[in-house]
Every structure is written in structure tokens, then in C-alpha cells.
Chains A and B, each alone.
Chain A
Amino acid sequence: MNTTKILQVPDAATAAADYLTNDADDHGELVTLNVGPSHPATHGVLRLKLVIDGEEIVSCDPIIGYLHRGMEKIAENCHYNQFVTYTDRMDYLAPMSNNIAYACAVEKLLGWELPERGQAIRVLCCELSRISSCFLGTGVFAMDTGAMTAFLYAFEEKERVHNLYEQICGARFTSSYTRIGGMTRDLPKGIEKQILDFCDHALKTVDEMEKLLLHNKVFIDRLVGVGVITKEMALQNGMTGNNLRASGVNRDLRKTNPYLGYENYEFDVPVATEGDCYARFQVRMEEIRQSVRIIRQVIAKLPSGPIWVQQDKGILPPKEAAMMGMEELIRQFMVSTQCVNAPAGQVYFAAENPKGELGFFLDSKGGGIANRLKMRSPSYCTLSILPELLPGHLVSDIGAILGSFDFVQGECDR
């Protein structure tokens, strides 16, 4: 196909005259600045195409997909249990919550409900990963505004959570803890005390970080009134989680539609009305305190009993039984190769993850493999607000604003 391109020959004299008479802005010259995909402020591989006028951002075009791994497609080619490991790699700062959200989604399709102990352990793990994620979120945020020390304090706590992970599931980072209908293993003996010790320590660090930053004039100047997201903007862009709550919307899935028995625990949902970076920082700090509160309650009334759904089919038998009994061996084989036998149908399950609402939409035609899996990732929706939010801010604010969103590119690009 032939296309005709009309080239306009610039008229130098007119252009110069335009340049001199253009008083719309200081000099009328805009610069395109490419931030990312590998840039210290973009936490991963986000790329921002900015048009700047001096230091002021005129327009912003976020480009995502540098970490796209086709997870939704992969889910159509492996059975439910196999996909658990992929969920680790989504929000890799809180792998446990992803595992749990995914397992809950499949269990919702199957109509299974975990026994009490299984639910309590899942809540425990969810909250641990929330603490870890919020610590990293606030720490990295602080580092983006130049406070290196607060970041390292926060990272130390995150390391402690990883130590606990290691004891709970055997891996520090990619946990793959859940299976459909239960968890790979029960909590190790004596971990309760360690978790409680960690809780005390985490609260101390939160206080320390607040002392270091929240009343710091430099920090306040950098954040108050920067990156203000109004209620309407947040809702229009589908923001969820802490970022939404910092804009004054009291929406927490653990309260509005409780899962895993969250209704049995007492906790508050921190909400701020300002919607600026400072509010998001505060909300995230408070979130850690509330998570600690939940963990303490879980440990206080941790029920005993099985952690797996009490079913004959679809779940792995105990290893010893599989080695001794014919029936169990067959079941082990069937579950390993074909997983559960899910009914045909569609479900949507959303969990309140550290980053926001992580939803799984499952379309099943029966059997052990999903026909279609659609994820609703909170980071993706959060980043969609950037073209609206960034113009008018300074280049220096990019770090603060991106840091305040606490997004994860692995989850956004999937």
C-alpha cells in the first residue's frame, strides 16, 4: 500500500519568530526524557516516557510489559497445583499472599472450605507477607526520598519475615506454600514464639521509622501535597488497597467480604483522606501495626486439627499412607498427574493483598486444568493513574510518587 507523506518544510524565519513570541511557557521548548526501564526510581522495569519543560513534567506515558511472561496463558496449560509456583513470581514481595489467594480461588470453584487450622495458618502467612511487603514498600519509599538508613531498617525486618518463611515452607523467597485444598506442610514446632518475637521487633522498627521520618521536616516537605489522588480519581482508575484507602475510601476485602475467617479477628482498617504521598506512607505504616494485631490473635487461638480439606479425592494422601496402601497410592498418582476434578463453571475470587485487590477469574470446563485464568493485578491499575497524576509535578517527585504506590512490576506485567 502506498501512502503519501506530506513533509512540511520548516520556515526558519517564522519558526524563529514563533520561538521568540511564544510566551505560553518560559522558552517553549519541551524535552522528552526516557525514564527506565532500568532506572533506580522505577522499581523493576517500568518505563516512563516523560515530556518535560525544565524540571516540570508536561506529560507522561507509562510503558509496561517488560516483565511479561504470559502467566495467564501458562495457566491454561498446567493443572491447578502446578500453577501455584507461578503465583510466587507475580507479586514477588509477598509470594505467600499470592499462593493463598490463588488456592482460595480454586477452592471457591470446587466449593471446598478449609478446616479451621488450615484457615488460621493461611491468615498467619498472609499477614506475615503483608508485613514484609509493607516494610519493603515504606523502606524503598524512604530510600527514594533519600533516606537510606530507614530502608535498611525496614529491610532487616523483611529478612526476618523471610527467615520465618524458610521455617514454614522451606524456601525464603519463592514459597509455593499452598496446594489446592491445603498447605504443603503444617507449621513447624515452636514457630509461634518466634513469630511473636518478630511481631514485637517489627512494632519497634515501625516506631523507629516513624520517629526517623514522619516528623522530619525534609520528609514532610517532600511528600505533603505531592501526588494527590482524589477519591474520584482513585475509584476511576480502579486503585485498591493502601493506595485507595489513603484517598479516603474505606474498602478492605477482609472486612467487606471476609474470606479465611477474617471476620473472627479484630483489626482496624487505616484510612486517610489526604490522598498524597505522605498519607500513603502513613497508611502503610499503620497497616503493619494492624497485621501484627491480627497475627497475635491468630497465634492466641490457633486451633489444632488438620490443615487439609477433609476429602477423599483431589488432595494428596499422607506420604506414609501412600507408601503402604494401594488406594492411597492410586490417589497420590491421580492427584499428582491430574489434580482435582473441578466442576465446569466460572468464579471470581479476590483477596486483599499487600498491594491491593488481587483477583483471580477462573473459567473451568471441568477437570484439573483451567480453561481460562484472568488475573486482576492491583499494580496494573495503580500504574494506570500515572498519565493523569504526573503532569504538573517535578522530575524530583517521580521517585516519591512511584515509591508511594508500592507497585511490583512482576504483578503488573504478569
Chain B
Amino acid sequence: MTCICNWWNDLMSNPIWFYLIATILKLVLMFAVILAFVVLSVWIERRVAGWIQDRPGPNRAGLPLFLLERFGSKQKQPLKDVLHFFGIPETSWIAKLCTWLRFDREIPTFGLIQPCLDGGKLFLKQEFTPSYVRKAYFIVAPMLVLGPPMVAAAVIPFASSVETAYGTISMCVANLGIGPLWIFAVSGLSVYGLTLAGWSSNSKFPFLGGLRATAQLISYEVSMGLSVIPLLMMFGTLNLQEIVQFQADNGWTLLPLWGEGLSLQRWAMLAPLALSFLIFVTCVFAEANRTPFDMAECETDLVGGYHTEYSSMKFASFFMGEYAAMVIGSAIVVTLFLGGWSIGFGADAWVAAHCGPWWAVTAQFCMFLIKLLAFIFFFVWVRWTLPRFRWDQVMKLGWLVFLELAVANIFLAAAVMYFIQ
């Protein structure tokens, strides 16, 4: 035991090994969380859509109990036996509640397992590649859609830094000094996936879809980049971890209620920041190819858009890529505008001081996930409420409205920062 402890101590005392091990742990955590959230957001999408549209949505799929029999269980009605064991009569409300929750038939997941089963189904489906496609690009395209959002997530901080005995762990996979730039640069790559998918399918509907996606993503990338400049002027840094720390100390970007956030300047800054928020969120919608900006795959005129010719796991990659983009988009919005992992009202420092740093990290991580879920809900809500724009209107909106607004917003923010001290 001592031997292992010593070995571990030696290993972790070496800064390179410490860095490597910490990074790999964070990497695994981040990857698992994102993939879990992709699945979860599919479920949220379908349940919320059901809720909005007066229908149940997937609420049934559970793990059926007859699976136990497959694995040798002799019990026909496990619920009855369990109730009997605890001496609960079958007419009591507990028994009724259990039946209502379908415990007598399955281990209920409230439909949560449905997206997993859908994924499994897509794995097992026939992989059909039309003969006329350009094979290499056809295969590369889905990877290019799924990859960039995952890579972009590397710089998103999910909790505050922690001092350990061996050194400081910054709770993001890569603590880069160019956070937002990295995200824009990498997530912009996914446009290649869409273009290649549309072009290599060698078919007209996907081609139109690919072209639309390209034009749309490129034009919104511009406004997106410009719209965060007022924020960066205020924060004075491009490091996302520092940006969130600033918000934790001085009030969230859109909620300056504590620390130095109560100054006149911050409140005056709210106007340009709110405008930034509006532009940025719209651009995130456009980047994620979601309604009202889903003309690249809009069903009613392009059938499936760029993924019309795809089937099985390649289609699933597009599908997951889209949801991953949505999750990452939400994470960026939360990080930049809604305080990231910070609990708010100065609670971060208090928790860290009174409960210890690891409790603080856990609380912050949970807070981050809650905010993320809330924003994903917003995404879904918008999708099932608004009709979709027409392609040329999207272009007009991007180039003639948002670009101008974003540029003017920079000057407005500069004026506020210069004149109101």
C-alpha cells in the first residue's frame, strides 16, 4: 500500500505526469458529459415537443422485466414479491403508485432510454451507400460534422480552478488564452462537413442543402464573431476561465447584481450586452442549423437536405453532430453571458471557503449543467414555436441586419466604457 502511495506521490509530483493525468481525466469527463447530453437533449427535445403539442412524447420505453427471466430469474412478478416482502398490501397507495410507475412491468426510465435504443437501431441498420456518390468525401463528411463541436468544447470551463497538493487543476480541458477564438475557428470547420456531404452525395437535393448550409454558416460566423467583441472589451481577456471567474466575482454579464457589477458602468453596459446576447444567440441557432434556421435540411423543400443520401450510422453522426452543436452552442452562451459555472451572488467564494474546494467544484459543475439544460430547453422551445425562415431572408438578416448591428454595437460599447466611469 505504502509502495503504491509513494509511487503515486512521485508520479503526481512530476508536473508533466500531473498535467497529463489531470487532462485525461477531464477529457474523459467532458466527453462523457457531452455525449450524455446529446442523448439527453434528444430526449428533452422529444418530450418538450410532446408537451408543447399536447401529446405524450416518448414516455414509455423502459427496461422490461422479462429481461430478468431471460437471464434466469424465476420470478414472474417481482413487484408482488417485493411488496409481500415488506408486508405492503396490494391495495395500498404505495402499490398503486408502483403500478402507475409501471414497476410491475419494467424498470421505468420515462422514455430516457428511447434515444439510446434509437442509436442502437441506427447501428444495426443496413449501411447503404449509393453507387454514384464520391466515396471518400461521402465517408469523411459525417466525421467532419461530429468532430468540431467536440473539439470546440475543450476550452469551455465547467468549474473553478482547484489547488491540490500537487498543483493547480484548471477545470477545463485546455485552458487556452484564446478561448472564443478557438471555438469560432474549430466550430467553423463543421461547414466543410455539410458542404462535402451535399456535394459528394452527387444528388440535387443534398447539393442545394449543402450550398445553403455553407452560405448560412459563413455569413453568421461573421456576426457571431463581431457580437462578442463588446464582452471581450469588458472582460479584457480571451481566457474563458478568467471570463467566468470575472463573472463569478462581479456579476454575470446579463445579471450584474453583486461585486463590482453594481457600478453605473456595468448597468450602462447592459444595453450593448443585451444586443450582443440577442445577436449571438441567433447566430448560435444558425450555426446549429436549428429551426428557424434549418433551411439546409428543411424537410418541406429539400426532403432531408445534405443528409438525404445517408443511412445508418453515417446519418446518426449527422444527427448527433447537430445535437452536439446545440449542446456546445448552449455551453458557449452560458459561459459568455450567463455566468458559466458560477453559482452567482458571490456564493462561489463562500462555498469554497466554508465547504472546501471540491464541494465548490461539484456545486459549480452542477450549476453549469443546470444552466446548460435550461438553455437547451430554450433551444427546443424556439424550435417548436417558430416557423422557418426562407433561405434568402436568412441571408438578408445575416448580412444586412446582424452584421450592421454587431458593428454598431462595438462602438456603442466603446462609448459606454469611455464616457461612463
Contacts from A to B (Cβ < 8 Å): 31, 33-34, 39-41, 55, 142-149, 152-153, 156, 212-213, 216, 218-219, 221-222, 394-399, 403
Assess whether B295 is in contact with A218, with CB atoms less than 8 Å apart: no
Residues in A neighbouring B264, C-beta threshold 8 A: none
Please determine whether A55 and B54 come into contact, CB atoms closer than 8 angstroms.
Answer: no
A-B contact pairs, 28 of them (CB 8 A): A39-B303, A41-B301, A145-B388, A146-B291, A146-B300, A146-B387, A147-B386, A147-B388, A148-B384, A149-B52, A149-B53, A149-B385, A152-B53, A153-B53, A218-B292, A218-B386, A218-B387, A218-B388, A219-B387, A221-B390, A222-B389, A394-B390, A395-B208, A395-B302, A396-B301, A398-B301, A399-B301, A403-B300
Chain B residues whose C-beta falls within 8 Å of the C-beta of A403 in the assembled complex: 300
On whether the beta carbons of A147 and B301 are closer than 8 Å, the reply is no
- Is B389 within 8 A of A394, CB to CB? no
Determine whether B283 belongs to the interface, using a CB cutoff of 8 Å to chain A. no
**Bound Cα distance from A216 to B392, whole angstroms:** 18
Residues of A within 8 A of B221 (CB): none
Cβ-Cβ contact count across A and B, 8 Å cutoff: 82
Give bound CA distance, A41 to B299, whole Å.
8
Asked whether, in the complex, the Cβ of A40 is within 8 Å of the Cβ of B389, the reply is no
- Give CA–CA (A145, B298) in the complex, Å: 9
- A222-B386 CB under 8 A given contacts A31-B204, A146-B300, A149-B52: no
Q: Is the CB of B298 within 8 A of A146?
A: yes
Nearest-Cβ distance from residue B75 to partner chain A, whole angstroms:
41
Residue-wise, chain B 385-413 has the 8 Å CB interface mask toward A (1 for contact) of 11111111100000000000000000000
How far in angstroms is the closest Cβ of chain B from A137?
15
Report how far A149 CA is from B208 CA in the complex, Å: 26
8 interchain residue pairs of minimum CB distance? A146-B388, A399-B300, A147-B387, A152-B53, A146-B387, A145-B387, A41-B300, A396-B390
A396 touches B295 (CB 8 A): yes
User: How close is B380's CB to chain A, nearest CB, in angstroms?
Assistant: 11
For the complex, give the distance between the alpha carbons of A156 and B292 in Å: 24
Q: Say whether B388 contacts A395, CB under 8 Å.
A: no
Residues of A within 8 A of B298 (CB): 146, 396, 399
Residues of A contacting B292 with CB < 8 Å? 146, 218
Nearest B residue (CB) for A144: B300
Contact A222 B301 (CB under 8 A): no
A-chain residues with CB within 8 Å of residue B386 when the two chains form the complex: 146-147, 216, 218
Interface residues of B in 302-356 (CB under 8 A from A): 302-303
Tell me which residues across on chain B come within 8 A of A212, comparing CB atoms: 385
Asked whether A152 lies within 8 Å of B388 as measured between CB atoms, the reply is no
Instruction: Choose one: B49, B52, B291, B387; the contact of A222 (CB below 8 Å).
Output: B387
Q: A39-B303, A221-B393 are in contact. Are A152 and B54 (CB under 8 A)?
A: yes
A235 to B393, CA, bound (A): 32
Known A39-B303, A146-B292, A152-B53: A216·B391 in contact at CB below 8 Å: no
B249: interface (CB < 8 Å): no
Which of B180-213 touch A at CB < 8 Å? Answer: 204-205, 208
CA distance A72 to B392 in the complex (A): 44
Name B299's closest neighbour in chain A (CB-CB): A40
- The residues of A that contact B387 with a CB separation of less than 8 Å are 142, 145-147, 213, 216, 218-219, 222
- Output the least CB separation between B48 and chain A (Å): 11
B299 touches A153 (CB 8 A): no
A403 to B53, CA, bound (A): 21
B106 interfacial by beta-carbon distance below 8 Å: no
Is B55 engaged at the interface, CB distance under 8 Å to the other chain? yes
Given A33-B204, A221-B390, 11 other A-B contacts at CB below 8 A? A41-B301, A55-B391, A145-B300, A146-B291, A146-B300, A146-B388, A152-B55, A212-B385, A222-B389, A394-B390, A396-B391
Q: Which residues of B136-188 are within 8 A (CB) of A?
A: none
Interface check B294, CB cutoff 8 A: yes
Task: Tell me the residues in window 367-394 of chain B with beta carbons closer than 8 Å to chain A beta carbons.
Answer: 384-393
Q: Is the CB of B54 within 8 A of A153?
A: yes
Question: Of A34, A41, A153, A397, which one neighbours B390 at CB under 8 angstroms?
Answer: A397
**Shortest CB distance A350–B (Å):** 32
Residues from chain B with Cβ under 8 Å of A399 in the complex = 298, 300-301
Q: Nearest Cβ distance between residue B285 and chain A, in whole angstroms?
A: 12
- Residue in B52, B300, B303, B385 whose CB lies within 8 Å of A143: B300
Q: Which residues of B contact A222 (CB under 8 A)?
A: 387-390, 393
Question: Which residues of A sit under 8 angstroms from B295, Cβ to Cβ?
Answer: 396
Give A153 to B391 CA distance when docked, in angstroms: 26
**B388, A40: Cβ atoms closer than 8 Å:** no
Q: A146 vs B208: C-alpha distance in the bound complex, in angstroms?
A: 18
**A-side contacts of B54, CB under 8 Å:** 152-153, 156
A218 touches B301 (CB 8 A): no
Is the pair B53, A148 in contact by a Cβ cutoff of 8 Å? Answer: yes
Closest chain B CB from A55 CB (angstroms): 6
How close is A121's CB to chain B, nearest CB, in angstroms? Answer: 31
Complex Cα gap A397–B302 (Å): 11
Q: Bound complex: CA of A153 vs CA of B52, how far in Å? A: 10
Contact residues in A for B204 (Cβ distance below 8 Å): 31, 33-34
In residues 23-69 of chain B, which contact A (Cβ within 8 Å)?
Answer: 49, 52-55
Q: How far is the CA of A221 from the CA of B95 in the complex (A)?
A: 55
B55 vs chain A, min Cβ distance (A): 7
